[in-house]
Structure 1
């Protein structure tokens, strides 16, 4: 080997060493994002997160998702974020009630006319003050509001449910928490608090008579195997609060914050596209599995449930004029 060739080889080796060292340093510098979700790892919605959101983040972050409430118990994610034990979560709006009572308006059944109305509200500026209040009081940064589906009542047995009165005595599983339990009562049922991971077995054994969830969840969790009918109540156009702890957000560079926000926006879009596509196809699937799927008297449900909410203590906390602004959009 000539002297020149030796010099080139040495230079190449040095450049490779520097490159590898720089790459390792970048990997070490990538901030971690520990994330918790109640949705099972096998659920297709988890793939939207694990592949879409994580793929968008790329090497800029070390994203570490925990599914099926394996890291943090359902309903305790917000507290875990505030204590520094968790960086990110897809929070339910009811998780905020104890600390920000004003958020109860966003958990109101039949608040939105349809998915387009819900999206219009969240894309407008009418919620800006409420979101700012949420962030200030809970010390989290709201990134997006991903749509996770329209909730319907799903029960065992052949009782026909056309009005809230027809749900009397039905043991309807609802997540734990005052807001969720009140929703079950407003629908006319007997709400029973239960962890999401226990619902299938409880339906199978008859410990509960039914549950409420979006159609994609009914399929992914195989609730159709242990129930007989789905009543298309459409009582909640559900979205979660995709958020990061404020302390984690503040620790990021402006470039990292921009990347995280852009990927959260993309996750919101991807999740809505997936869920809406599933909802459009699933009625025929459930009917093929032998379930009775039908629409009740939706006007009767809406009038009754909104009346119960407006007369409740929750309405006392609603920001003045916000309901009217939402209805006007």
Structure 2
């Protein structure tokens, strides 16, 4: 009797061990990756995160998903880039301008007035040749991470306590810009003085007068309440607010070929769907700001800005490097 009981207990133990082993194998196949960005979830970054997560779950059959860390929980973009390259974060979204901190040629996307309109911008972001050229550039110039795809938040415009109706209104003004050679060349051409600082310091700097003007997308301006300290948004639309999705090499190299296809498919979905959603978000944000009493200057004379920017485009692209020259040509050729 005791012997039979012992056998039943041994069998039950063996079954339990097998079950645990199977469960362990199943859980090992399920991965939740860290996905970080420095804007609120209400911005296009949040839109991109949700699109990426939904597509990744779909193509992986639920095996892969992401945990989003918005609002600079894991640092500002330059810090997140370093953490991603070290393998501490799986995926990050950064502006292409901040990508220039590790690959200066990425500054080509910050060239002013190279996008004819929002429709052209949308088509450029979705263009496979442009995306591949950008990925090739990062592959050749950056260690520790690479770019999966491109996205956009629309156009960047300037905001201040005063109206900006023409290029004359920025002469002598202190403008907060992202730290790229591109912006450090364009804004002085308009007669402005550039100031670099992390995005998280912009609100206080506008409030205290450390800078007179800042520039960003309409939704970012709304979501971060910059209208409280700079209540006039002037639609200069001088530069595209482009972004890229990065993956850590450590994470990428841990995936098999099929899993890499899942991740790339998720990034491709963002590049395909996000731009239209982002531009609608910009439009909705502008309407909300107007109802709040924020003054939006739509009739900015952009001709002076464009005239000063045009001669810089080719010379700066050439100075940045061959990848930048190629990408600029591809952008111009998108119909």
* TM-score between the two structures when normalised by the length of structure 2: 0.80
Which whole-Å deviations, capped at 9, do the CAs of 1:212-266 have from their partners, x for residues lacking one? 1111111111222222311111111222111212332122012211211122222
Q: Deviation at 1:180?
A: 4.2
Structure 1 runs not aligned, ≥5 long: 1-13
Q: Deviation at 1:39?
A: 0.9
Say whether 1:302 aligns with 2:279. no
Could you tell me whether the CA contact under 8 Å between 2:74 and 2:80 is conserved in 1?
no
Looking at structure 2, the residues matched to 212 and 243 of structure 1 have their Cα atoms a distance apart, in angstroms, of 24
1:134 matched residue in structure 2: 138
1:7 matched residue in structure 2: none
Looking at structure 1, the residues matched to 268 and 188 of structure 2 have their Cα atoms a distance apart, in angstroms, of 34
Say whether 1:223 aligns with 2:226. yes
C-alpha change, 1:287 and 1:111, in structure 2 (3 Å) is same
Say whether 1:148 aligns with 2:147. no
Looking at structure 2, the residues matched to 270 and 125 of structure 1 have their Cα atoms a distance apart, in angstroms, of 17
Q: Deviation at 1:28?
A: 3.0
1:106 matched residue in structure 2: 109
Say whether 1:53 aligns with 2:52. yes
The secondary structure found in structure 1 opposite 2:129 is: coil
Looking at structure 1, the residues matched to 69 and 24 of structure 2 have their Cα atoms a distance apart, in angstroms, of 25
Looking at structure 1, the residues matched to 152 and 25 of structure 2 have their Cα atoms a distance apart, in angstroms, of 37
C-alpha change, 1:44 and 1:91, in structure 2 (3 Å) is closer
C-alpha change, 1:124 and 1:224, in structure 2 (3 Å) is same
User: What does 1:71-220 correspond to in 2, within 5 Å?
Assistant: 71-97=74-100, 99-122=102-125, 123-125=127-129, 128-139=132-143, 140-157=145-162, 160-220=163-223
Looking at structure 1, the residues matched to 27 and 189 of structure 2 have their Cα atoms a distance apart, in angstroms, of 51
Looking at structure 2, the residues matched to 326 and 82 of structure 1 have their Cα atoms a distance apart, in angstroms, of 28
Q: Deviation at 1:150?
A: 0.9
Which whole-Å deviations, capped at 9, do the CAs of 1:292-314 have from their partners, x for residues lacking one? 222311122111122344455x5
Pick which of 45-54 and 196-205 moved more: 45-54
Which residue, 233, 242, 247 being the options, matches 2:245?
242
Structure 2 runs not aligned, ≥5 long: 1-13
C-alpha change, 1:138 and 1:216, in structure 2 (3 Å) is same
* TM-score between the two structures when normalised by the length of structure 1: 0.81
C-alpha change, 1:228 and 1:47, in structure 2 (3 Å) is closer
1:278 matched residue in structure 2: 281
Q: Deviation at 1:288?
A: 2.5
Could you tell me whether the CA contact under 8 Å between 1:156 and 1:226 is conserved in 2?
yes
Q: Deviation at 1:77?
A: 3.0
Q: Deviation at 1:278?
A: 1.8
2:42 matched residue in structure 1: 43
The secondary structure found in structure 2 opposite 1:145 is: strand
Work out the number of aligned pairs and report it: 315
C-alpha change, 1:102 and 1:55, in structure 2 (3 Å) is closer
Indicate the RMSD between aligned Cα atoms, in angstroms. 3.1
Q: Deviation at 1:17?
A: 9.2
Looking at structure 1, the residues matched to 155 and 71 of structure 2 have their Cα atoms a distance apart, in angstroms, of 21
1:265 matched residue in structure 2: 268
Could you tell me whether the CA contact under 8 Å between 1:97 and 1:179 is conserved in 2?
no
Which residue, 51, 70, 81 being the options, matches 1:67?
70
Pick which of 296-305 and 71-80 moved more: 71-80
The secondary structure found in structure 2 opposite 1:69 is: coil
Looking at structure 2, the residues matched to 295 and 239 of structure 1 have their Cα atoms a distance apart, in angstroms, of 23
